[in-house]
Amino acid sequence: MNPDKDINEEKLSEQLQRLLISIEASGRAVLPKSNDVLLKSIVDAAARIFGAAAASILLVNEEEEALEFKVAFGPSDQDLVGTKFPYDKGIAGYVFMTGHPIATSNVREDKRFNQDFAKSTGYVPDSILATPLISSDDRVIGVMEVLDKIDATSFNLQDMELLGMFAQQAAMAIDMSQQIDSIEQALVNGLKRLAKSDRSQDSSDLQAALNQALRVENRPSDFLELADLFNDISALGEAERKACLQVLKVFAEYRKSNSAPRRFR
């Protein structure tokens, strides 16, 4: 037996508590609860700011080589969510492909334009402005659209340039939120393995999520440290993992009965 074991467990417990508190605090301050809530707040704001009857966000689904409506505001918003279409279809598709924003108008009146796709979404807009969502590591992660300018026949260049700036901020928030979602999922998996002391699976999913997250600067560092710590813990011996699990159980019980985490201090 290691004579320092109790002391080390105590230190580990303190460290975990501190990290959990700090990530909870930073998470609350920086991010909404979920990616969906974040997306919804972005399109609602975009529609208001740009005087548009509708707005939507499409994110890339690389496996299916498609863009998928993740959130929509306006007519037929519920029908749109979940709809996917290949990169080479629709206004959003070529914004994704070229990486350049674009606006169109007279879509509804122009008999020469094939409206089948627009009709298939249940909503044929008259004017569209679409701009790429580019993550802070320069990847095009999706497209943001505002549709049907309320007080004009089309969106103008100023709208285009402002939407570009708006989308830049939105893309960073979405990217960060997605990565945190994936880290959270990986953490849950890691903790489940920890609880089962199952070493048959490695922690590559957590490591992959961490690597992806670490490519982007300025995310809550406590969160990453915490995730990294769990990754390290999962590689320890059985006794250490059990000790860690015990600490977490105690912490969870404590949190159920005490809503103010600062009481740990």
Partner 1 sequence: MPEETLRPAWSQHFTPDAIQELLSHGPFAGITPEWAWGNSAGKGIRVAVVDSGVEYDHPALEGCVRGGVVVEYDARAKDNYRIKPDEKPIDVSGHGTACAGIIHSIAPEAEIYSVRVLGRNMGGRAIQFAAGLDWTIENDMQIVNLSLSTSLEEFFGLFHDLTDQAYFKNMNLISAVNNIPEPSYPSLYSAVISVAAHEGKDPYTYYYNPNPPVEFGAPGIDVEVAWNKKQYLVCTGNSFAAPHITGITALIRAKHPELTPFQIKSVLLACAANTKRQSK
| Contacts to partner 1 by CB under 8 A | 65, 86-89, 93-94, 96-107, 110, 112-114, 131-132, 134, 136, 138-140, 154-158, 160-162, 164-165, 167-169, 172-173, 217-218
Provide the minimum distance between the beta carbon of 223 and partner 1 in the complex, in angstroms, as a whole number. Answer: 15
Nearest-approach distance from CB 161 to partner 1, in angstroms = 4
Buried b / exposed e along 187-202 (16+ C-beta atoms within 10 A): bebbbebbeeeeeeee
CA–CA gap between residue 130 and residue 55 (Å, rounded): 10
Cα–Cα distance for residue pair 237/219, rounded to 1 Å: 30
Q: Give the H/E segment covering residue 256.
A: helix 238-257
Please, what is the minimum distance in Å from the beta carbon of residue 126 to partner 1? 11
Minimum Å gap between C-beta 216 and partner 1 is 9
Which of 66, 191 has the CB closer to partner 1? 66
Q: Find, among 229, 240, 262, 246, the residue nearest to 15 by Cα.
A: 229
Question: What minimum distance in Å lies between the beta carbon of 207 and partner 1?
Answer: 23
Cβ of residue 111: shortest distance to partner 1, in angstroms?
10
CA angle 77, 79, 84 (to 5 degrees): 105
> Which is nearer to partner 1, 165 or 235 (by Cβ)?
165
By beta-carbon proximity to partner 1, the closer residue of 17 and 131 is 131
**Residue 28 or residue 89: which is nearer to partner 1 going by CB?**
89
Cα–Cα distance list, 242 to 113, 168, 199, 238 (Å): 65, 44, 13, 6
| C-beta of residue 39 within 8 angstroms of C-beta of residue 51 | no
Question: Is the CB of 179 or the CB of 203 nearer to partner 1?
Answer: 179
| Residues 6+ positions from 130 with CB-CB distance below 8 Å | 91, 92, 95, 101, 102, 103, 143, 144, 145, 146
Which is nearer to partner 1, 85 or 230 (by Cβ)?
Answer: 85
